[in-house]
Amino acid sequence: MSSLRVTLPTSLDLYIKGRTEQYLLGVPGLTSVSKRTIHAVVTSQIVEDQRSSIYRATIPTHGNVVLKFHLEEYRSMDDLREEASLYTGQLKDLQGTVIPRYHGLYVGGDESQEQFVCIVLEDCGDPPRDVFHRHYSQDERIEILKQLFELHKKGYIPKTFEEENVVGEPGAYRLVGLRVPFKTDHKCEFDGQWYADERIPVDKFSCNWLFQDGLTMRVWAQWGRPFVKIFGRPYYNIEDYPCQPEIDELSKFVPKSFDEDCDRPILSGWFKDVKKMMDVVEKAGEKPLTAQMVMEHVKMPKFS
């Protein structure tokens, strides 16, 4: 059975009694049968309290990883054993695409015989710094909900689903913190219809669990508040923008050089300028402008 050697920087006052080296043994059935010793060098601290600690580390053979420690005194080792069993069992096929890659479960202790357990996972990034609907665009929230649907297809429904359960970035979101599940035998009947352009599809959504998580994430318009979409992202101050059909028509003129991450504020500002001009034309009682006429009067900005 493999073992884990953890090197701790002296700058971190860990609950492992200030040791700079700690050795742990792999848990049979939940760790590689290889007899080699894996060396993890802790680089930073993510979370630490009296119950648990989470650290970033590097392992030559695994790259950047996260070490999650639980103390037996405060939280049963069964918590992390349960999480490890999900990675190696029911959700194994989702490693590296929906959930982090799993590198083993290890146990250890110190001179006082205080026991602790550590799970080693792929480091997939940080959770959001704000609530779902403020940190992520609507398209990003739906992408996260699609990842959650992958858990549903395996029969797994998490007991809770919050911002701290999501790490990564668009195209590479991973779900973490797979605690004791609410259900492991879920037969999901979701039909793949997200109703992204509707307000709240109360009577249409085919999986109530996904629907409730979608409500928490505010995947749909905020409780019926109207919005317009510019390249997939909702904007709720609709009085500042042209109507949706006009936005869709004008969007066809946006050059390929447009970068959604860098240039979105510029494009949003351009649409606001277009709306101001349309308001002037309307007040003058003139004929509404076509998209081509708008392009002749309001120059499209240059994008990166």
Is 84:119 a contact under the CB 8 Å cutoff?
A: yes
Is 90:155 a contact under the CB 8 Å cutoff?
A: yes
Within 106-228, residue ranges assigned H as helices are 132-135, 138-153, 208-217
Say what the pTM is.
Answer: 0.68
Helix (H, G, I), strand (E, B) or coil at 209: helix
Residue 160: CB atoms within 10 A of its CB come to 11
User: Which residue type is seen at 286?
Assistant: E
Total residues belonging to the chain: 304
In tens digits, the chain (304 residues) has pLDDT values of 678 888 877 666 554 545 566 777 877 777 775 667 888 888 888 876 666 788 899 999 899 999 988 766 555 577 788 889 999 999 999 999 999 999 999 988 765 555 778 899 999 998 887 778 778 888 899 999 999 999 999 999 988 888 889 999 888 999 998 876 777 888 898 988 888 877 777 778 888 889 888 888 888 865 556 678 888 777 877 888 988 888 888 998 888 888 877 888 899 999 999 999 988 888 888 888 888 888 888 888 888 7
Taking the C-alpha atoms of residue 7 and residue 59, their distance in angstroms, rounded to an integer, is 11
